[in-house]
Amino acid sequence: MRKSCDNLNLGVPSALVGDALYLALDLGFNLLMYNFATHQMSVINLPSTFCGRGIVLTTTEDGRLVCVKEDDCKLYLWSREAGPEDAVWTQSRVIKLENLIPIDALSTSPDVLGYVDSIAAFFADTDDGLSTIDLKSSQVKNVGKFSDSFNIYPYMSFWTPSIAKGLNW
């Protein structure tokens, strides 16, 4: 029997799909969906294989919600597909990390920390440190070391209005 928990898991970045914001609930069994257009909230069950930490929410190029879970050195990608009556989860891909990451970096299972949709790359905490996993090329790059797992909030660029206007602080 699955437990339920009504706390938001702020360690998992949210995903915006159309007018809906998806947030992970604490134990990783459910998502909270808030629709900005209708101002309605609902709880969405995740696939039964999901629980605990290691969940990453993202979107596809065509605007579908994707939930990623690492288990036993594999990344499981599930997308939310429109069905005849309701949306359903469909496993869209399984990525075997042992084929991509050097075996000496996998004495413990890696933690998936984030995803950058625009470049199709995951960030993972391995024994060697922080690595990126490029889904298009299947290449892995070690990008740094750190002592504890943390969440990754990648960005491609940012804009500071005062600098853009030539103002000094």
**Predicted confidence band at 27 (pLDDT cuts at 50, 70, 90)?**
low
**Predicted confidence band at 29 (pLDDT cuts at 50, 70, 90)?**
confident
Tell me what pLDDT residue 165 has. 61
Q: What is the mean pLDDT of the chain?
A: 76
Q: Which two tokens stand for residue 71?
A: 């288990």
Looking at residue 169, its amino acid is: W
pTM of the model as a whole: 0.71
**Residue 63 Rama label (left phi>0; alpha psi -120 to 50; beta):** left
Give yes or no for residue 17 having a pLDDT over 70: yes
Residues 6 or more apart whose CB falls under 8 angstroms from that of 136 comprise 120
**Predicted confidence band at 2 (pLDDT cuts at 50, 70, 90)?**
very low
**Predicted confidence band at 19 (pLDDT cuts at 50, 70, 90)?**
very high
pLDDT (tens digit per residue) in 42-99: 998 888 777 656 678 888 878 888 888 877 778 888 998 876 678 889 898 888 877 7
Tell me what pLDDT residue 106 has. 57
**Predicted confidence band at 160 (pLDDT cuts at 50, 70, 90)?**
low
pLDDT (tens digit per residue) in 124-154: 777 777 888 887 887 888 887 765 656 666 6
- Of 109 and 44, the one with more pLDDT: 44
CA distance 150 to 155: 16
- Of 168 and 17, the one with more pLDDT: 17
Three-class SS state of 103: helix
Residues 6 or more apart whose CB falls under 8 angstroms from that of 56 comprise 12, 13, 67, 68, 69, 112, 113, 114, 115, 122
